[in-house]
Chain A
Amino acid sequence: MFSTALTWSDLAFLAQGAAMTLAVTAVSVAAGTLLGILFGVIRVQAGPYWSMPLTFVLDVFRSVPLLIQLVLANAFQSIAKLGWAPFTTSCVVLSLYTAAYCTEIVRGGISSVPATTRRAARSLGMTWWQDMRYIVAPLATRVSLPSWIGLTLGVMKDSALVLWLGLIELLRASQILVTRLQEPLFILLICGAIYFLISFPIARLGGYLEKRWSPND
């Protein structure tokens, strides 16, 4: 018969880890998406030349491994005496990382709206903002959604790296239990299942929205 030393309180410990993963992901994806929308719009409006500095900075965030960003940011905040908690530092870094990718997604979404459609909106007397709000935003969202869902799921998994700053998120919680109980396969299986349980609704939501919008393309 299958037996395990895993107790209910160990499971609660894992759940706390999962909650930390969710918190870091939620904050980073929310902040990163808002920033990404802002930067994406700026990139499209300013054109490739004037947005070069912004593009450069975002490219740095996209190309330097997240782990290095986390460690450097943590060192920086301590040198600069910002007094940030590991949770804050983690969220700031992950938000910028998310924003860097989201900017490209948003830019792609906006560029996918034909110039002729936007010209039609403007020639009806709509302002730039009305065109953005009622024409570009809905159309760009439809185009960007699959990539954005992918980004969100990716950030959730990448958020495990914040364990290097001492945060006990899902993966770190599992590691602690593995070390203590010496049942790596079983515990990692549970850990994987929890990741899946968190991801699944997000992926389904994406699928649902895509289906709902597709007949109107």
Chain B
Amino acid sequence: MIEIENVRKSFGTLEVLKGIDLTVKKGEVVTVIGGSGSGKSTLLTCINGLEPIDAGRIKVDGTEVHAKSTDLNKLRSKIGIVFQQWNAFPHLTVLENVMLAPRKVLGQSKQAAEEMAVKQLTHVGLGEKLSVYPNRMSGGQQQRMAIARALAMSPEYMLFDEVTSALDPQLVGEVLDTLRMLASEGMTMICVTHEMKFAREVSDRVAFFHKGVMAEIAPPEALFGAPKDPELQKFLAATH
């Protein structure tokens, strides 16, 4: 369970998160929508402790992320995160990209790591690309590799930050299909996305962010069907 309580976060004088409360239960899929600069990415990077917070707290399975005593590297190994830019390690093959963290962070044997990597890469449809270098693949393939790389750590939670935004339109589908597959397998996910159709399909709940505030959160039928927040109404009108 991810528990976010009254989280505040500023960059300098700019308050980016103004008291966010959100609880994501095991197996739940929450998508986050909202305008540019509303704090969506910042919230994700706070959840796995890449960014410090100024107030409030975030607990993952009861462990307070920003407590001094928390072993962040250990915590991060159970929170997978995939970013908008597909951050392949360019000097490693696809297989090596996926094997690296399980070997070095989890201390798995070469054989175990390779087995897991092949399994996850096959899962995202890259079983044929194991010995290829990332620059030889399309953006969609690299993004799926990044997903497999996160999954190889056997995370309990996955955070996705606009993973299709930097892709050519014809490559968006394959990556969204991968996310749908994960959702249907019961993975607990928080997805920041601009793909409204996707959000409607996979979400248990959709959260709308506006200027650092979670202005509305509801199941997709309610949020898209009968939006209450005026800013959300404007936002939806603009995106349709």
Contact = CB atoms under 8 A, between A and B. Distances in A.
A142 B105 CA distance: 25
A134 B100 CA distance: 8
A130 B103 CA distance: 11
A185 B169 CA distance: 68
Interface residues of A, number: 22
Contacts, number: 63
A85 B20 CA distance: 68
B133 A119 contact: no
A116 B74 contact: no
Interface string B56-84: 00000000000000000111110101010
B85 interface: yes
A130 B89 CA distance: 13
A135 B89 CA distance: 7
The size class of the interface chain B forms with chain A is: 20 to 34
A130 B79 CA distance: 18
Interface in A196-216: 213, 215-216
A104 to B, nearest CB: 22
Contacts of A216: 90-91, 133, 135
B48 to A, nearest CB: 6
Given A125-B105, A216-B135, A217-B135, A142 B87 contact: no
A123 B149 CA distance: 11
B101 A125 contact: yes
A124 B50 CA distance: 11
Contacts of B135: 216-217
Contact of B89 (A121, A125, A127, A213): A121
Interface of A: 114, 116-117, 119-127, 130, 134-135, 138-139, 142, 213, 215-217
